[in-house]
Chain A
Amino acid sequence: MTVNGGRLEAEVADRTLLVHFLREVAGLTATNVGCDTSSCGACTVLLDGQSVKSCTVLAAQADGHQITTLEGLASDGEMHPVQRAFHAEHGLQCGFCTPGMVMAAVSLLAEQPHPTEQQVRTGLEGNLCRCTGYHNIVRAVLTAAGHREGQAGR
């Protein structure tokens, strides 16, 4: 498969989950295993540009597809606009859900570039923040969408 733009080939057991492939074979550990039951969204990555929960995808199903993890968002040392907005708006508390939140937000903004606050909240309903830090997360996504006068532009 292609992971963050680079080709990655490996032989793995048939039952290997994508999240384990990314963490243990590709060594990309930003993607977290949270609930492991496709509820919490901490393992969210992009598969061909769409958010998916990588704990509920077999590595074999992703064979030949494009996978993007949090590590693949920044380019040339510059954070992705969504990353910058999470930084500027303090869209995190403990940080465990953050990689999944950012990936879900990137997918959401690709589908709805100018969401309302309500659309952001429903668009992120597949991601849980156990710290309940939702207000700043929503604010960060709106900032990334250019809806708010944030300092996301640095």
Chain B
Amino acid sequence: MIPAPFTYQRAGSVDEALALAAAGGDDAKFLAGGHSLLPLMKLRLAVPATLVDIGRLCELSFIRDDGDQIAVGALTSHHDVATSGLLATELPLLAHAAGVVGDPQIRHRGTIGGSLAHADPAADLPAVMLAADATLVTRSPGGSREIPAGEFFRGLFETALRPAELLTEIRFRKAAGTGWSFQKFTKRAIDWAIVGVAVQGGKVALVNMGQTPLRAIAVEWALAAGAAPAEAAVHAAEGTSPVADINADRPYREHLARVLVARGLAEAHAAG
């Protein structure tokens, strides 16, 4: 399988990437690691006319200690996130979740920014952004803006990003010492999560329980009201609208959400 014809353009700087994408209009896509976009292009489910390769913009690949925050460049590979000593200490949820994305080959190429901008509801990291209350930083020809993770994911493969707007950085509050957990249920090791759960402190987010990653608000309220983890987990599927597909029907996903939230809360409780 090969993608439909497109024009490949390589950006040498962020400004050049923005200019190339703006010139390409709605039919241009940024190409980072390509591990979400290229498979879709090979299946002809995505047919961009122009790919703007940002893969060489080393200035977007970093993990930086920034006072009470950590900044991660959008082009940082899952492998580099997973093996970061700084993240292992200050935001282990993110390091751990990045280490279970796909498989080693995919983690060598795939990037955190690419995964978030792609916004697959079955992807691991978008839910981590919600649980960690991350802020996504973007650049566009008009300037820079910051988008809270809770406002970034708008629908199936749909985000708050505008055409020619590039996700450049993700900012997190340090979370050393707070309880966390990442749970993911798959049939085979490398599959997308049938359901996943990210827990950070009192925040709980769900993978693949709707068109976007979701906060399990009813669980969080129950925890805030003093419920024990097992009691709070009963509410995990409230307000969700999971798809039925070849892997699971809706009641099965709802059941999985309750089970995985219970496990996640128990693990986070033990670690916190």
Q: Taking beta carbons and an 8 Å cutoff, which residues of A are in contact with B?
A: 13-17, 20, 36-39, 41, 44, 47, 50-53, 55-58, 60-61, 104, 107-108, 122-123, 125-127
Contacts and interface: CB of A to CB of B under 8 A. Distances in A.
Interface of B: 1-8, 10, 31, 34-35, 38-39, 42-43, 51, 53, 55, 79, 102-106, 108-109, 189-190
A108 B79 CA distance: 12
A17 B31 CA distance: 14
A15 B39 contact: no
5 contacts: A20-B2, A36-B42, A38-B39, A53-B109, A104-B104
Given A20-B2, A47-B108, 7 more contacts: A37-B1, A37-B39, A37-B43, A38-B105, A56-B109, A126-B102, A126-B106
Contacts of B5: 13-15
Q: Please indicate which of the listed interface residues A13, A20, A56 has the most CB atoms of chain B within 10 Å of its own CB.
A: A56
B189 A15 contact: no
A44 B42 CA distance: 18
B109 A15 contact: no
Contacts of A20: 2
B1 A125 contact: no
Contact of A17 (B2, B108, B109): B2
A154 to B, nearest CB: 29
A125 B189 contact: yes
A125 B53 contact: no
B210 to A, nearest CB: 25
A50 B77 CA distance: 12
A58 B34 contact: yes
A119 B62 CA distance: 27
B246 to A, nearest CB: 15
Contacts of B39: 37-38, 56
A108 B104 CA distance: 8
A123 to B, nearest CB: 6
Given A15-B4, A50-B79, A61-B34, A107 B104 contact: yes
